[in-house]
Amino acid sequence: MSSYRCWAEISRAALRHNAAAARRMLGANVALLAVIKANGYGHGLAEVAKALADEAQLFGVANLPEAIEAREAVPHPVIILGPALPKERTEIAARGFIPSVSNYEEALAFSRAAPNERPVEGNCAIDTGMGRMGMAEEGAIHELKRIAALPNLHLHSVSTHLPVADEDFAFTRRQLAGFQALAAKIRQEVPGAYMIHVLPSAGVMSFGASAFEMVRAGLMLYGSAPLADLQDRLQP
């Protein structure tokens, strides 16, 4: 018998309700990437993944150990949203996870680490305001062309992040407009059947009409609306 005096009861139904709420804010053909990093925001990574297996098309985690735990729970594609350590590249490639890369050198290292029979799929991050990870906007098309030409890395997706989508709408609108223009050029000049994803939870709730092929829903799945006036759409 457990001696713990406090515990958390997690509602799988609420998780699914919130994922469905996210879907209603988007177009019919937009893929839902459920972010389950940090132990599923403290709710239990594996259990959250299982609960959302029918709602999400992909899962997003922060690092390799989380990716392994997610894959043991569900068979879905897993994107590692954070940067990988050099020593992790071979295992990431062997397990078929989708790493995020910020430059050609990282992509080249993954291409070289890929098993002969299966190229690595990569998510290429572009920095448009976060300042934490991603290649610079200036020169991004040239960098993406080089990455797309690698023999053992396929371009799975191209992404950026909206760092203040929950507090500075004017900046976020400018950021979105700038990235939409860049994305149009990327589509024209960089070959491949890749997806583009931009919106986090705050973006989904405020700018859902600006979604590309995929969104990254995190906080809202767990019942917390980044925008207080939309809290009634979610279940805690």
Region of 96 (left: φ > 0; alpha: ψ -120 to 50; beta: rest) is left
pLDDT of residue 3: 74
Cβ density class 77-105: b for 16+ within 10 Å, e for less: bbbbbbbbeeebbeebbeeebbbbbbbbe
Tokens representing 213?
A: 């092929």
Q: Answer for the pair 101, 146: CB distance below 8 angstroms, yes or no.
A: no
- 86-116 pLDDT per residue, tens: 999 999 999 999 999 999 999 999 999 998 8
User: Which pTM does this prediction carry?
Assistant: 0.95
pLDDT of 1: 58
**Is the CB of residue 157 less than 8 Å from the CB of residue 214?**
yes
If you average pLDDT over residues 173-190, what whole number do you get? 97
**Backbone Cα Rg of the chain:** 18
pLDDT of residue 49: 99
- Classify domain 12-224 by CATH number: 3.20.20.10
* Residue 162 pLDDT: 95
pLDDT band at 2 (very low <50, low <70, confident <90, very high): low
Is the per-residue pLDDT at 168 higher than 80? yes
28 is written with which tokens?
């019919």
Model confidence pLDDT, tens digit, residues 211-231: 999 999 999 999 999 988 889
Banded pLDDT at 35 (limits 50, 70, 90): very high
| Termini Cα distance of the chain | 28
CA 175 to chain centre: 18
Q: Is the confidence at residue 83, as pLDDT, over 80?
A: yes
Q: What whole-number distance in Å separates Cα of residue 91 and Cα of residue 114?
A: 9
pLDDT band with cut points at 50, 70 and 90 for residue 209: confident
Residue 221: the pLDDT is: 98
pLDDT band at 131 (very low <50, low <70, confident <90, very high): confident
